[in-house]
Amino acid sequence: MEMPKVVPQIVQTIEETEEEEPIEIIKEKEYIVPEQVFSQVPVQQPAPVVKKVRKKRTMTPEMLEKLAVARAKANEKRKANKEARLKGEMKTPTQVKQEQIEIQEEKKRPVVNNVTNEYKTINNNITPEDIQKIALETSAKATAEALYQYEEIRKARKQEKKEKKEQEAKLIERQNTIKKSIIGGYSGDFKKPRKSIYG
């Protein structure tokens, strides 16, 4: 078999197209050290923060007079309070704090019917034997009452259960009599129940 003539033409065209394309020369990239890159970038300085200048408050002569009067008044009050404390007419700051603490404790106490209950220590002549005796008596009474109540509840449940059983037995008995009347009871020699009244 001979090769067709078309194939050499295609091979020629492929060779021609390959020859026509110019071959590009690939250049290698230059390696740049990162330190050099960052050293070339100019570092920007942050803009300086300018604070607003506040105007100084100037005191007028009237304000100065009022201030002087207020200072004098405060000094007089302090002296009067000091003298009162020395005489015992006025409470010291520690006494005032103590009173505030007592008021807070008073608020913490329980309130029943708008009456604040006070905590008082009770002194009595009850001995530990008396306490044990009272505890035994009260616990014995409590257990006896609990047992009695439980027994009453148990008896009531038992009675209800008995009545329920009786009612169920009566119901079953009625159902059986109805069945016998419908079926017709037992027939003759074979002691077999009939299928119906007519049969």
Structure tokens at 192: 């077999």
Q: Specify the pLDDT at position 71.
A: 96
- What share of the chain in percent tops pLDDT 90? 26
Contact criterion met (CB below 8 Å) for 184 and 178 = no
| Coil vs helix vs strand at 64 | helix
Mean pLDDT of 65-73: 95
* 118 Cβ contact partners less than 8 Å away, ≥ 6 residues apart: 109
CA dihedral 176, 177, 180, 185 (to 10 degrees): 120
From residue 93, alpha-carbon distances to 77, 85, 89, 113, 149 in Å are 15, 10, 13, 35, 63
* pLDDT, tens digit, 9 for 90 and up, residues 135-160: 878 888 888 888 999 999 999 999 99
Instruction: Dump pLDDT digits (tens) for 31-47.
Output: 777 777 666 666 677 77
Query: Global pTM?
Result: 0.27
